[in-house]
Amino acid sequence: MQLRYNYRAYPDAAQCRALAKAFGCARVVWNDCLRDRKQAHAAGLPYVKSADLSRVRITQAKRTAERAWLADVSAVVLQQSLRDLDTAYKNFFDSLSGKRKGRKVGPPRYKSKKDTRQSIRLNTNAFSLKDDGTVYVAKVGNLKVKWSRRLPTTPTSLTVTKDSCGRYFLSFVVDTQPDALPEVETDTGIDLGLAAFAVLSDGRKIDSKRFLRRAEKKLKRLQRELSRRVKGSKNRTKARIKVARQHAKVTNRRRDFHHKASTQIIRENQAVYVENLDVSSLGRTRLAKSVHDAGWSAFVGMLEYKAVKHGRTFAKVDRAFPSSQICSACGFRDGAKPLHVREWTCNACGTVHERDHNAARNVLFEGRRIVAAGRAETQNACGAPVRRAHVPAQRGEAGSPRKSPSTQAGIPGLRSGSTSSWEA
């Protein structure tokens, strides 16, 4: 399986200029190739092949006066930008034909130098890990990196990213074998909510941290300062970076919380079942800010890939399953209930239920039934996959491996006996 590990990089002034040039060249190649394909499509011509684009927009363009500066960056950066465009088109075509499941994917769009996120992607021919702890990037130099954890094996690709607040990150993709945890006899169902972030079927509750709500006061002040600055001025740029840094802190705290909670659940249970919520639709209601602040989709994604990594069973119960209407004691369906009803009594058996705990127990029972029946979907499902599938490398940080021998991959000072401050 593939995992992605993110590390903070600290380039010097010359390296920042070299990276900015690499970001710009990769963006120009993307836009030029995209423009050629759009113009060919508008003229009714066949789809322009990647080999033709590589020859015209990269090899020959370097010999022209208008694009001579493309030779100042690594050729791998330019070729990978074209490959990323091919991947974007493939995802678009697969979405149109129905091969790609999930939300529809739109066609590729032009990139701008004003985008809040700039990145380049490299293969093993254009980067290497040095013994002194730095990472060599072709035509950029040796980047200083903060190694927060070990790499389990030699990486296969590297993505260098600059975010909206000016921070640089190195994202390594590694191919690893699943690290199966010892089997346990417990399993759990999870009901996600807003009052409590998650309620487990055994009655335990994970409190909602409300990271965005807690930071709103400071964010409002920074947004007011930004709105007062003159557009195009240096002070406005400084104010924008302050706002971006505050949002980054909120994101980091939420991600850290998700990693710790999902890791604990995966380690304590052999099987995990969760309801497949329609987060995109809930994000258009009056509860949108609270829904996005909770980050349910990211949390469920972590549960899914960690279950594959550690040999656990993971299943999604379809959102149409009436988990809040069924009595978990006798199975009697008591009808729909408004959200303000947090406790109710079953009319059949008289059991008093706490709404979220009862829903978590029903999710557990339905998840067991799905796995036992061997079906990939519930009977009334809208396409909720249950069987284990290939999980691609996540965009977020994968976290540290468990205490086990691993390849150091050229990172000094991180011996096999050392561990990071937290594991995910």
Which residues are the active-site residues?
Answer: 191, 275, 356
Considering only CA atoms, which of 388, 411, 394 is closest in space to residue 152?
411
CB 334 within 8 A of CB 325: yes
147: exposed, middle or buried (C-beta count within 10 Å: 0-12, 13-18, 19+)? middle
**What is the rounded CA–CA span in Å between residue 384 and residue 289?**
25
